Structure 1
Amino acid sequence: MMRPGLRAAAGAASTGAHLRVATYNIHKGVRGLGPVKRLEIHNLGLGVEALDADLVFLQEVRHFHHREAKQFERTWFGWPDQGQAEFLAPDGYEVAYRTNAVTKHGEHGNALLSRWPLGEVGHHDVSDHRFEQRGLLHVQVQWQSQIVHAVVAHLGLMHGSRVRQVQRLADYIRAEVPEDGLLVVAGDFNDWGEKLDAPMREHGLARAQAPGGRRQATFPSRLPFFSLDRIYTRGLRCVATQVPRGPVWARMSDHLPLVAEFELA
């Protein structure tokens, strides 16, 4: 059963005329520290389903983590037996996941959940230094008898790293995506100063914004002020954007999801 406050975020079921895209940094499915640490992956599953998106771009997704699995194993809603990407996928969705970072107790990365059939899946390392492991997940999605190239991104914490990662993203797109191919790049860009739109435009990628150009704040989730979570496209026109808000969404992750509707440009 869907929790109160989640149902309002769900749109009408996709008819295929519009492509509904969501991006969400799920904070590895866990919130809090020490004795107040809590598992949110089960609530996140309800949240992802409520978004009712054709494509869900996820960041900070655990594939496994031995320490946290042991910590939460005796709770009523315990640590999932499967990877978080598979666990979060609504019934009938296909899943692609690739690891970005390997740590002492586990690994995490980016994922794509899709209502539409998936094709080839690729991964490109864009780490800028040894302290931050970053990557791009590239998935071909079969939508409306066309291929949409979906790239899930999670850029670095330093501005210089992000600039170099945008250039590597552009180089990768030139090498792997046809010039006339439909393209969606979405994720957590960590762009606190709103400085990446210009270089993304130079590479042919337009930021999805609501009519009138209003930017949707997604971070921090309890009092959103920064627009860190973005969707950039080529060959698609944004017709609407939404950020679901409220106490239910604020507790699940430090980010709020961003949802956008697109039509062919």
Structure 2
Amino acid sequence: MPLKRDGASLRVLTVNIHKGYSFFNRRFVLHELREAVRAVKSDLVFLQEVRGGGDPDERHPGVSQYEFLADTIWRDHAYGRNAVAPRDSYGNAVLSHFPIVKSHNHRLSHPRIQPQRGVLHCVVNHGALPALHLMCVHLGLLEGDREHQIAALHEIIGSEVPADAPLIVAGDFNDWRQRVDGRLAQIGLSEVFRQSHGRHARSFPAAWPLLRLDRIYVRNVETVQPLPMPRHPWSRLSDHAPLAAEVRLKEAA
């Protein structure tokens, strides 16, 4: 049964944009990606592998990818730099229709581990409803690194997010062995697709998804509903397929 979209209902999208390139870096697809993201009509967009510097696109010199994607559609955005390259950086970003009143990028990796991984924590002012906490995540490829990063994420949520506050944690968890849920359940987080369908969504590789790497976790919300996403055009816009959901927040007491 579809959720009724009103002031308490939000549409959430998460996607690893692969620095604006298609699978195997065959094409630069940022313009097509912007149209696809707009078509979902999301209130909140969680992005991973976002370039923080200007793109190799002469039509938009000096404009970061998250600014280009936000354009005039999402009034607020935040960026968390994790990896640094010559004249460029990469990280996570959040686009929001609502004011982002606070943002901070927390390091999840040990300083000696490269590339660095982080979680971008944003607090959104959603009118009369309680402040909404958002965390955009991209975990490492190695299981040992992910265990350290999940422990760090567990601690950050415990110290930065009030126990009764609504919270959405979304992104690329690289959790191909599906071990993250147990750790996050300890602090009250449940995954939208597993809660509704009994299993995580397949998201990698985008053209023929086999692995269940991307997630949307929630805490202290009223209801959630996963949204189906079309295979095209997404299968040719990144190496990861997007995930989307409707999240209904609890009304203030």
TM-score with structure 1 setting the length: 0.85
Question: Partner of 1:159 in structure 2?
Answer: 143
Question: Partner of 1:58 in structure 2?
Answer: 47
Q: Distance in 2 between matches of 1:24 and 1:13?
A: 24
Alignment of 1:145-184 (within 5 A): 145=128, 146-184=130-168
Question: Offset of 1:237 from its aligned partner?
Answer: 4.3
Alignment of 1:1-265 (within 5 A): 14-31=5-22, 37-64=26-53, 69=56, 72-73=57-58, 78=59, 81-89=62-70, 91-93=72-74, 94-128=76-110, 129-145=112-128, 146-209=130-193, 211-264=196-249
Change (3 A) 1:12 1:178: closer
Structure 2 contact 23–236 (Cα < 8 Å) conserved: no
Change (3 A) 1:41 1:149: same
* Bigger mean CA deviation after superposition, 139-148 or 185-194: 139-148
Question: Offset of 1:243 from its aligned partner?
Answer: 4.3
What percentage of aligned pairs have identical amino acids? 40
Question: Offset of 1:195 from its aligned partner?
Answer: 1.1
Q: Distance in 1 between matches of 2:3 and 2:247?
A: 14
Supply the AA of the counterpart residue of 1:16. Answer: G
Q: Which 5+ residue runs of structure 2 have no aligned equivalent?
A: none
Structure 1 contact 14–54 (Cα < 8 Å) conserved: no
Query: Alpha-carbon deviations, 1:173-229, whole Å to 9, x = none?
Result: 121111111111111000011111111101221111263424321111000111211
Q: Distance in 1 between matches of 2:107 and 2:196?
A: 34
Query: Alpha-carbon deviations, 1:23-71, whole Å to 9, x = none?
Result: 11000002366xx732110011001111111110000000125xx62xx
Supply the AA of the counterpart residue of 2:126. Answer: W
Count of aligned pairs between the two proteins: 245
Q: What is the Cα-based RMSD across aligned positions, in Å?
A: 2.2
Q: Distance in 2 between matches of 1:104 and 1:55?
A: 30
**Secondary structure of 1:236's aligned partner:** coil
Structure 2 contact 3–246 (Cα < 8 Å) conserved: no
